[in-house]
Structure 1
Amino acid sequence: MVRGLRGRMLLLAVLGNLVWSFDAKANFNGKLTVEIDGFKNKEGQICASIFASSEGFPGDRDRVLQKQCTKITDTPFPITFDNLKAGRYAVAVFHDQNNDRTLNSNLFGVPSEGFGFSSNPEILARAPKFSEAAFLVAGPDTNIQIQLKYF
């Protein structure tokens, strides 16, 4: 019985260490680098928004966790988001060719500037859902690629 008790105590100690290590990793602040490619030209800027939930994704500016617009200097072009907790996120980007910080569209609502989403979901008649663009940040450095689309 002592041997069985010692074995159980060892198992509890190991499990306790696993729970502690998972908890410790969940409390980090990670960095996400988004590499954007597929530009039609280098005019204007690239604007990127990161969302932590489906609420407001992809276009509600008030629900964005972080956003930034940066002049395009190279292709592919990297954008970095810092201080992200472990979890699921989705990124929406657009090529703001006229520097108005808005994804312009025609009379029918079809974007007239390039755009893209994390996980590069297929775009048919609507913007993707959060779940279709979501990815996991689970370490100190996460890298994803987004390919721009133009209609």
Structure 2
Amino acid sequence: MHRLVLLLALLSSAAASHAADLSIQVDGARGDGGSVKIALFDSADRFLKRPLHSASAPVRDGGATFALKDLAAGQYAIAAYHDADDNGKLDQNMMGIPVEATGFSNDALGNMGPPAFEAARIDLPQGGNAIRITLR
């Protein structure tokens, strides 16, 4: 029993030592109403489909700040948008083009659509990282 407790303690401390924090500043919201939504993706297969983590914060001074804690070091991409009417979805026109401001890590831009995961990919080292996303 003591060995099991010791093993669990060692594993949890090892996992904690490999955790990294990611600070995300999102700027460029059109006005101070609504909220900024972000989604964190850890692979091209999941990109824009199944986020690993998502968060929302009220817009203040044209942007929002997020602090994602205890992530595994690795490669990620972040998508963000200004949910100006706070309806919980990205509003689009009849052609499917977003009418609310959007942005991606690396300020990546797509060609006639969202960027690829590779264009938006950032590195998150064990020491953490801080990035800025500009909504357009």
TM-score range relative to shorter protein: 0.7 to 0.9
User: TM-score with structure 2 length normalisation?
Assistant: 0.83
Greater Cα radius of gyration, structure 1 or 2 = 1
Larger deviation, residues 45-54 vs 66-75: 66-75
Structure 1 outlier segments of 4+, above 3 Å: none
Question: Shift of residue 73 of structure 1?
Answer: 2.2
Question: What percentage of aligned pairs have identical amino acids?
Answer: 27
Distance 1:29 1:135 in 2: 16
Question: Shift of residue 54 of structure 1?
Answer: 1.0
Please list the CA deviations of residues 9-30 of structure 1 after superposition, one character each: whole Å capped at 9, or x if unmatched: xxxxxxxxxxxxxxx8xx5111
AA of the residue aligned to 1:121: A
Equivalent in the alignment of 2:125? 138
Distance 1:80 1:32 in 2: 6
Q: CA RMSD, aligned part only? A: 1.9
Equivalent in the alignment of 1:122? 109
Query: Which structure features the higher share of strand residues?
Result: 2
Match of 2:28 among 38, 42, 48: 38
AA of the residue aligned to 1:106: N
Question: Shift of residue 126 of structure 1?
Answer: 1.3
Query: Which structure features the higher share of helix residues?
Result: 1
Structure 1, unmatched stretches of 5+, are 1-23
Match of 1:47 among 37, 41, 44: 37
Match of 1:112 among 64, 83, 99: 99
Structure 2, unmatched stretches of 5+, are 1-13
How many residues align structurally? Answer: 123
Please list the CA deviations of residues 11-66 of structure 1 after superposition, one character each: whole Å capped at 9, or x if unmatched: xxxxxxxxxxxxx8xx51111011111121111000001001112312x2xx2111
Partner of 1:39, secondary structure, is: coil
